Structure 1
Amino acid sequence: MNVIGPRKLSYGDVFLLCFITGLSVWVSLEAWADMYSRALIDTENGQALFAPMVAFYLFWVRRSRTQFIGYNPSFTGLAIVIGGYFALNWGIETNTLVVWHLGAIFMLIGSLLTIMGMGFLRQFAPALIALLFIIPTPGIVRIALAEPMQELATELTMGVLDGIGVNAIKQGLVIQVGNPPIDVAIGEACNGMRMIFALSLVVFGFVFSAPFRSEVRIGLLLISPLIALSCNIVRLVMTSIVYGFSTQGFADAFHWYSGLAMIPMSLLMLFGVIKLLTWLDIPCMKWRLAFV
């Protein structure tokens, strides 16, 4: 029985693919420039700088699947390009930035699918979805998340400080530690908003980098806010203690570097969750290795 599939990409196909994707980026260049300029000047959108790397990594771990991909033109991909173009124009006309940015992403994804077909989406969907993290977080979403996160982080930090015997006073979203008291403003520097979407990107990359079972992937994605909050609480507790019992210069440096440590900390927590599930004999992978 002969099985007919997409033919391998020729040099002409590769040229056509590069031309179409390049054209889609050129048409939406202003939106791409806006997304990355926002990421460079606003640390709360910093995940946009790492999203392409995560997307490439997710593509790389699936590179063996490229044998199933070839030249397979798709009208669905062309429809996505057209839809992205209309979203691009509607977003800029109505000043709806998230739609404007989303249109640029869709045009790029649609260009790939136009040449390589929906099989490319089936094989590399996580890598394509990771590109959506390039889109800056809408202001209304940040405002809706910031206040409850600040309040919860302040309450939990105070609870931990009281539990370990550190003398601290809570005034609104400010914690006073030490003698004389030093103010640690949760709402200004340590509310976790600067890292929550970056941590979400890390969790997304982690769960799709290995053949986890679908329910495990969903569970890890659902607990990603809890992981982000836990990392932030650890940082807040340590930062509060350092500000209260050390010099200002050392405390400022500690605050900066502890922020960089949140992503490695979140990865350690994810590995810890997987180890716990394995210890409980809960299957995490789609298959198990047999050792004889």
Structure 2
Amino acid sequence: MSQIGKTLKTRTANIFICSAIAVICGLLYFVPYSNMLKLWGNEDFAYCYFVPLIAAYLVWEKRRELDRVPSVPSWSGFAVLLPGIALYWLGELGGEYYALSLSSWLVLVGLLWMYLGWNKLKQIAFPMLFLLAMFPLPNVVYSNMSFKLKLLSSQIGVAMIRLAGLTAFREGNKIDLGFTQLQVVDACSGLRYLIPLLLLGLLLAYHFNAARWKKAVLVISTIPLTVLTNSLRIASVGFLYQFWGAAVAEGFFHDFSGWLIFMVSLALLLGEMWLLRRIGGASPAEQSFNIQSGDNVGSRFSWQMIAVVTILLLGTLGASRTLDFREKVPIARPLQQFPMTVGEWQGARFGLNADLLASLHLSDYLMAEYRNPQGKVVSIYVAYNDSQRKGESSHSPASCLPGNGWSFEESGVVTTPGAAGLMTVRRAFIQKSGDRMLVYYWFPQRGRILTSMVQLKLYAFLDALTVHRTDGALVRLITPVENGEPIELAERRLKEFVQLSVPALNTFIPGSR
């Protein structure tokens, strides 16, 4: 057979192998990627649409270097591929989409390493790392970052308002100007601009022919730059409010000011790059490497490597579609039977609307409001899942409440009397439009009381493997904190209600067995 014939045969075989593996991976990650595309429709993650396109362009930029470096298939890629498969099962059994997304990236890197070899993979290391930005951060992480940025931007914004000669006081994310009060909501946290600006900083640094410390300064500076410009935006709203009223804090002006702040931040970043180029003399000359051209067409997987990869991926796909590691564990008693008298507290039931109930995928739930003889209120919400899967698991109030406009002023854990001694629960002090609430919540999961989503996912993974169970619940208690009421009284109410209600709840929610 002629050399041309061998080349064409090899290319055809490579295309077939790569296409087959791509189809298997597409089936394996179809559900998490469908969910990811839905998240991209959120304004907070609109930048994600551009990430894969930019990464593809960065790889295209490296086409000449890639052509010069020989492809040397290597079994070393399994060092990344196998952790990727393990992370897939952690996400699949733990019900965590983000873990599945990261798994797909590790699998891709592992396959490229195996097919192209390490030297060739190094040429596209930055585009591959940049590709990670296409995965939206988990809700809990994003909300926590947004909360901290809101506090910081509010503090600096108040200082700027005072410098402008106005009186301003801050309580959490609320800014009191005397003539009005401004609430710094999630959309004003600056996180919506921080991540895109950070990505732009990375791209500028990547193409910046300068010393590494200059590149690092350029990237790191995007964080304080975003915080300062976002604080300026908040301060400008406070200053202009006295002239134009609420129009400056909503609608077109609000959206336009956000766009303007981002463009100002980008201009400042480019100005910083211009200054850095003139510091410390001329930029170092790019090093030239004499890389011997390799026979890229002839390089290919060994058949043993192809067989192992195919069996591993097909086995994972087949097991995830056919094996059920999670038994459905029905609730011990219907939550509709939960008593409406708890100590001296008298309750009334409420229901969720049909659309919300359908989106939560609950097996059973309880929503009720209790009053004591003094007229104080504690509302309880219990959500039970007989089997937790992707998109059908317990939702953290740390994610849901901010989505409904509530701002977390304080968040942590607290110890309170439970059914048999002390128990640790999550505590949050929240407010919205002048209303203040104290929240306790925890996750009863197969005999454990958990307080974080990380614990929830890890134990769901372990219990799915060991006892074939992922059932669990969320319990959330809320009491209003009236104006002028010491928060200690609200704490006392919730702790009393926890001590009275948990023994009854334990007869409904399945424990360990």
Q: Name the TM-score, length of structure 2 as normaliser.
A: 0.49
CA contact (8 A) 1:24 1:111 kept: no
CA contact (8 A) 2:211 2:284 kept: yes
In the aligned structure 2, how far is the partner of 1:228 from the partner of 1:27? 38
The percentage of aligned residue pairs carrying the same residue is 20
Secondary structure of 1:212's partner?
A: coil
Find the counterpart in structure 2 of residue 81 from structure 1: 81
The match for 1:173 is: 173
What corresponds to 1:187 in structure 2? 185
In 2, Cα distance between the equivalents of 1:144 and 1:154? 15
Q: Deviations over 1:152-204 (max 9, x none)?
A: 21111111122123454434312245x853x3321343111223222222222
1:59-208 equivalences in 2 (<5 Å) = 59-69=59-69, 71-177=71-177, 180-181=179-180, 183-208=181-206
| Alpha-carbon distance in 1 for matches of 2:51, 2:65 | 21
**Which amino acid letter does the alignment assign opposite residue 91 of structure 1?**
G
**What is aligned with 2:429?**
none
Measure, in 1, the Cα distance between the counterparts of 2:281 and 2:23: 43
Any idea what the Cα deviations from partners look like across 1:235-265, whole Å, max 9, x if unmatched?
Answer: 2233333444225456521211232344433
- Describe the superposition over 1:202-248 as per-residue Cα deviations: whole angstroms up to 9, x where unpaired: 22222113333222222223323212212312322333334442254
2:147 alignment partner, SS class: helix
Return the offset for 1:97: 3.5
User: Is the 2:71–2:116 contact (alpha carbons within 8 Å) kept by the matching residues of 1?
Assistant: yes
Compared CA separation, residues 65 and 262, structure 1 to 2 (3 A): farther
Q: What is the count of residue pairs matched by the alignment?
A: 278
CA shift for structure 1 position 29: 1.7
Structure 1 residues not aligned, in runs of 5+:
1-6
Give the RMSD, CA atoms, in angstroms.
2.9
How far apart in 1 are the matches of 2:260 and 2:54?
18
Give 1:23-38 correspondences, 5 Å limit. 23-38=24-39
Q: Distance in 1 between matches of 2:185 and 2:51?
A: 26
Q: Counterparts of 1:75 and 1:199 in 2: how far apart (Å)? A: 38
Q: What is the one-letter code of the residue matched to 1:80?
A: V
Deviation at 1:107, TM superposition (A): 1.8
Matches within 5 A, 1:267-282: 267-279=266-278, 281-282=279-280
CA distance in 2, matches of 1:283, 1:29: 51
Matched, 1:220 2:234: no
Distance 2:125 2:282 in 1: 21
Tell me what 2:264 maps to: 265
CA distance in 1, matches of 2:247, 2:282: 45
Of residues 60-69 and 124-133 in structure 1, the stretch that sits farther from structure 2 once superposed is 60-69
* Structure with the largest fraction of helix: 1
Q: Distance in 2 between matches of 1:142 and 1:25?
A: 27
The unaligned stretches of length 5 or more in structure 2 are: 1-6, 287-513
How many Å separate the matches in 2 of 1:185 and 1:284?
A: 48
Give the letter aligned to residue 214 of structure 2: V
Q: Give how far 1:102 is off.
A: 0.6
Q: CA shift at 1:36, angstroms?
A: 2.2
Alpha-carbon spacing, 1:70–1:174, altered in 2? closer, same or farther (3 Å): same
Secondary structure of the structure 2 residue equivalent to 1:165 = coil
Whole-Å separation in 1 of the counterparts to 2:128 and 2:65: 15
Q: Please tell me whether the aligned partners of residues 230 and 261 of structure 2 are also in contact (alpha carbons under 8 angstroms).
A: yes
Matches within 5 A, 1:243-254: 243-246=241-244, 248-249=246-247, 251-252=249-250, 253-254=252-253
- Supply the distance in 2 between the matched residues of 1:282 and 1:157 (Cα, whole angstroms): 35
Q: If you compute each CA radius of gyration, which structure gives the higher value, 1 or 2?
A: 2
Task: Provide Cα deviations, 1:56-91, integer angstroms capped at 9, x if missing partner.
Answer: 243244343232345432223344333312211221
- Using the alignment, how far apart are the partners of 1:58 and 1:96 within structure 2? 30
Structure 1 counterpart of 2:263, one-letter code? P
Amino acid at match of 1:264: M
**How many Å apart are 1:117 and its aligned residue?**
1.8
Q: Deviations over 1:3-58 (max 9, x none)?
A: xxxx99945434433443343233212122222222323x3333422321331243
| C-alpha contact (below 8 Å) 1:73/1:113 kept by paired residues | yes
- Counterpart CA distance in 2 for 1:232 and 1:284 is 34
Q: In structure 2, do the counterparts of structure 1 residues 30 and 262 end up closer, same or farther at CA, with 3 Å as the change threshold?
A: farther
Task: Determine the C-alpha separation between the residues in 1 that align with 2:99 and 2:157.
Answer: 37
SS in 1 for 2:124: helix
> Against the structure 1 CA distance between its residues 95 and 232, is the aligned structure 2 distance closer, same or farther, given a 3 Å change threshold?
same
Go from structure 1 to structure 2 and tell me whether the alpha carbon gap of 1:230 and 1:287 turns closer, same or farther (over 3 Å shift).
farther
After superposition, the Cα gap between the structure-2 partners of 1:261 and 1:143, relative to the gap in structure 1 and judged at 3 Å, is same
Cα contact 1:54–1:205 (8 A) shared by 2? no
**SS at 2:137 equivalent:** coil
- Counterpart residue type for residue 133 of structure 2: F
Whether the 8 Å CA contact 2:168–2:176 is kept in 1: the answer is: yes
Q: d(CA) in 2 for partners of 1:11 and 1:139?
A: 44
The structure with the largest strand share of the pair is 2
Matched with 2:238 is: 240
Q: Which has the higher contact order (CA 8 A, sep 6+)?
A: 1
1:287 aligns with 2:285: yes
Paired residue type of 1:21: A
Identify if the C-alpha distance between structure 1 residues 132 and 21 changes in structure 2 by more than 3 Å, giving closer, same or farther.
same
2 CA distance for matches of 1:90 and 1:30?
15
* TM-aligned CA distance change 1:22 to 1:156, over 3 Å: same
Answer whether contact 1:21 1:108 (CA < 8 A) is retained. Answer: no
Equivalent position amino acid for 1:54 in 2: I
